[in-house]
Amino acid sequence: MRQLTDLLAGQENFKRAIEIALAGSHSLSVYENNIYDANTLAEFVCEKTGLHLNANGLMADIVIELSPVHFDQLMLPSGESYEAIIARARQGQERKGVDTDTNKSAEALLKHGFDRGMLKVTDINIIISVAGTIAKLDNSTIVRADHIAEAMQYRMNYNAEPPILSK
């Protein structure tokens, strides 16, 4: 029987978060679930990428919860190599700056999240910064709505508890 060589098998969204964190020097935190131990995962990620992962912490630019996976997914050959993820992150670091002035549709996404209590005031600049990194990785010169949307998903994990709104 083959041994499991990639602890992140089936976690493509988490690998993307690692790429963004590396490219933009963003802090990254992960919630463990019943399949993964966050401390073991943090050690694995640091060993493979050099990124220091905050295990089960909330104070990070990017917060992600691991997806459930099936046993069959764990036994598949590794997807993309960590070397490829690191190389792409380095390319993103080397690209010129991105114009972080958001367009109207990107601002509308931020407004929607904020007005519904899903985002805090302090989240806005973090989201724009992370979206700027995503735009660089996308080889874009501006921050678009899809960049904001991807960055928001990482902050909305952080604000997982629904807001209490008074009438």
The pTM of this model reads 0.79
CA nearest neighbour of 113 among 158, 57, 54: 158
Q: Tokens representing 73? A: 């997914």
Predicted pLDDT of residue 113 = 87
Predicted pLDDT of residue 166 = 36
Q: CA 132 to CA 68: how far, in whole Å?
A: 29
Give yes or no for a contact between 165 and 127, defined as CB atoms under 8 angstroms apart.
Answer: no
Predicted pLDDT of residue 151 = 93
Q: CA 159 to CA 85: how far, in whole Å?
A: 27
Predicted pLDDT of residue 5 = 57
Q: CA 53 to CA 108: how far, in whole Å?
A: 31
Alpha helices by DSSP H, listed for 5-144, are 12-24, 38-49, 71-74, 82-94, 104-115, 121-137
Residues of the chain with pLDDT under 50: 1-2, 160-167
Predicted pLDDT of residue 4 = 52
- pLDDT of 127-150, one tens digit each? 999 999 999 999 888 888 999 999
Q: CA 52 to CA 116: how far, in whole Å?
A: 32
